[in-house]
Structure 1
Amino acid sequence: MALSAIFYTSSSPSLTLPSKNHRPIFSHTSCFSKSLIVKASTTLGNSKLSVDDKSLGPAKTSSWQWKFKDYLINIYYEEHEKSNSDSSKNILMVPTISDVSTVEEWRSVARDIVQRVGKVNWRAIIVDWPGLGYSDRPKLDYNADVMEKFLVDFIIAPDSPISSSANDLVVFGGGHAATITLRAAKQGLLKAKAIAAVAPTWAGPLPIVFGRESSMETRYGLLRGTLRAPAVGWMMYNMLVSNEKAIESQYKSHVYANPENVTPGIVESRYALTKRKGARYAPAAFLTGLLDPVQSREEFLALFADMEGKIPVMVLSTEGSPKRSKAEMEALKGAKGVSKFVEVPGALLPQEEYPITIAEELYWFLQENIEIKA
């Protein structure tokens, strides 16, 4: 989710914000065989998942306290599993980073996967990023390193809800979350049995459109500072992001592929997130590129290449992504380290818009790489 903003280059830094909304600029030890490329299709549209609710217990919601510098940050997470399930393997599902990032985007996929009958009982944990979703939103200097440290700590910290399975974990990430996961894996900060990158991105909304020249970085800093300011920051945030019309417009233009799938309930839910205390701090960093895990396509591809022969990685590219984001996803087709590439319906949030299709593809990935070896 991005702010509508126009930047003009000139001899002195300036920032002009339009009075009318323009089109938003959201970005948005085994050896494996040659990359497999497939194309998925669906005729289900916005159908609801067919889940046997009797086999599922209610989602367990809880919070974990992340100790970061002088902060104690309450992190919201959910656990989805079958009722009275025996021993199970864990999947960590990490939301796409945006103004309205939330665990809600993964719920239907989680419920679908955990109710399936196979060689492995799956337990899904969905976690909100610090500064986003239902987690606390302190006024941190958010950047990609902070988000990476959080993700690693949530997995390996002794008091983490999943630390006992830190070396036997599957990670599903959307957008920037997938790229941050891969960056952490490349540095040896976390170990995973498999990783799925759903509509992966690496550049924030403004950098992917306007680039990273020094003059633009100056303007990004100006906008970021304004958004973080005590009074004018909220005013700008409320005008450009925290209103239902702006959220609906953004979802219909590029977050969802089919505008008819954007329901009033979705808009209301996301609008409520923008009203939480401290809501603007992390999005201000994302919008202006501070949460970008890499700085170029070459670095992006290198993260995947480093997984070759180490971790199976699946990429789900979407048919309806914005042009620039789509180009980055397409660059992964046949790329080193990508063990499977699938094109699916959707735009930047396919796991929420087409959960049946995404759950099916992800479950096949689990069967091919985990269950067959169980």
Structure 2
Amino acid sequence: MALYATFMPPSSPKFNLYAKIRAPFNPYSVRVLNPLTIRASTTLDYSNVSANDKSSPLKTSNWQWKFKDNLVNIYYEEHVKESSEPSQNILMMPTISDVSTVEEWRSVAGDIVQRNGNANWRATIVDWPGLGYSDRPKMDYNADVLEKFLVDFINSPNSPIKQPENDLIIFGGGHAASIVARAAKKGLVKPKAIAAVAPTWAGPLPIVFGRDSSMETRYGFLRGTLKAPAVGWMMYNMLVSNENAIQSQYKSHVYANPENVTSGIVESRYALTKRKGARYLPAAFLTGQLDPVTSREEFLELFAALEGKTPVLVLSTKGSPKRSKAEMEALKGAKGVSKFVEVPGALLPQEEYPALVAEELYQFLQEYFGSVAYS
């Protein structure tokens, strides 16, 4: 979405903002390989791969997350294949954006769980608090809040994915991948493996305008305006909650091929922007409050800390916006990155090219866990 606005914060000079809104289990043994770089176009034949003809039984439910004084209903889906064998769980975290949703992972989940192999995969997709079909209470969203949610969802005794330690694989898109890596770096979660799909760390405005004290003041003013009762809704409806803005956003940089942006996708995302409390978390995302780190150096450190501990796959995309792509490319050959692959797409390759992404993710799973039979 293209954003152009002029704001007059108190005691601050006028400034212009222009930005594109990027918007019982049996454990396996893990083999940690040396980093390698692989180009998708030369390693896999995608000609016969399709996720659209894959289907899986779908269970939907809600989990109640208690955070401070809030009881937040969290929406999640389970994709499973009927089998008498024990299953290995994959947690799929949607890319954080103003229209984030579990829908972006559905085709990939259906593809992977229906495949036949030594492992029986089970995929759980969960909407972040404040986004998708989860509750959207008015609170001060930031990266720490989302990290706390991730840790609680994985580790709580009543979690729908509660299982033995080190027995969960996590796929995350965009900022979600970086938040997963940050939690793993701190030892708050101990995933068996991580796949970072089109990983990002800087919000739409900070990645363009930076984070000096002057800009942080202006971001705070914008954030407060978007959260305000009357003018906030007016600005949100103008910038985010209208079909033309969503279509423009997806065609310009969320998808690589504008022809892949269907009316159904636009209508689905538009409906999400009309949910109660829809503007609160996007206000934080836009202004950088959800950024898990503040520099490329810190971004690289997240992955370096996982060296020798957790296999990490990074899926970069050929059509990402220039600034976002530069951050993805910085992970090529970086410490802690076990495998680096480039696939078609932009910021949501898992939705735009689900068959290709599912194939790369499945190959990663096979390389590390596929040859290990259940004990």
TM-score over 0.5 for the alignment? yes
| Whole-angstrom CA distance in 1 between matches of 2:209 and 2:14 | 15
Summarize deviations over 1:86-115 as a string: whole Å, max 9, x none. Answer: 310000000000000000000000000000
1:34 Cα shift?
Answer: 2.4
Residue 112, structure 1, aligned to residue 111, structure 2:
yes
Aligned counterpart for 1:26 among listed residues 21, 45, 58: 21
Residue 37, structure 1, aligned to residue 37, structure 2:
yes
- What letter corresponds to residue 21 of structure 2 in structure 1? F
Summarize deviations over 1:289-343 as a string: whole Å, max 9, x none. Answer: 0000001000000010011100000000000000000000000000000000000
Cα 1:280–1:362 change in 2 (3 A) is: same
Summarize deviations over 1:199-243 as a string: whole Å, max 9, x none. Answer: 000000000000001111111001000000001000000011100
| Whole-angstrom CA distance in 2 between matches of 1:216 and 1:204 | 13
| Aligned twin of 1:155 | 154
Cα 1:237–1:44 change in 2 (3 A) is: farther
Sequence identity (%): 74
| Whole-angstrom CA distance in 2 between matches of 1:52 and 1:147 | 31
Cα 1:349–1:16 change in 2 (3 A) is: same
SS at match of 2:207: helix
SS at match of 2:205: helix
Q: Is the 8 A contact 2:31 2:368 kept in 1?
A: no
| Whole-angstrom CA distance in 1 between matches of 2:237 and 2:349 | 27
Q: Please identify runs of 4+ aligned residues in structure 1 that moved more than 3 A.
A: 1-11, 13-17, 27-31, 41-45, 50-53
Summarize deviations over 1:53-91 as a string: whole Å, max 9, x none. Answer: 4xx32x100000000001100000000011245310000
| Whole-angstrom CA distance in 2 between matches of 1:7 and 1:351 | 36
- What letter corresponds to residue 51 of structure 2 in structure 1? L
Normalised by the size of structure 2, how large is the TM-score?
0.92
1:164 Cα shift?
Answer: 2.0
Q: Is the 8 A contact 1:27 1:208 kept in 2?
A: no
Aligned counterpart for 1:49 among listed residues 48, 51, 55: 51
SS at match of 1:205: coil
Normalised by the size of structure 1, how large is the TM-score?
0.93
Give structure 2 stretches of 5+ with no counterpart.
Answer: 24-28
| Whole-angstrom CA distance in 2 between matches of 1:233 and 1:267 | 22
| Aligned twin of 2:26 | none
Q: Is the 8 A contact 2:39 2:342 kept in 1?
A: yes
- Describe how 1:197-212 pairs up with structure 2 within 5 A: 197-212=196-211
| Whole-angstrom CA distance in 2 between matches of 1:117 and 1:315 | 24
1:39 Cα shift?
Answer: 1.2
For this pair of structures, how many residues does the alignment match? 365
- What letter corresponds to residue 39 of structure 1 in structure 2? R
| Aligned twin of 1:269 | 268
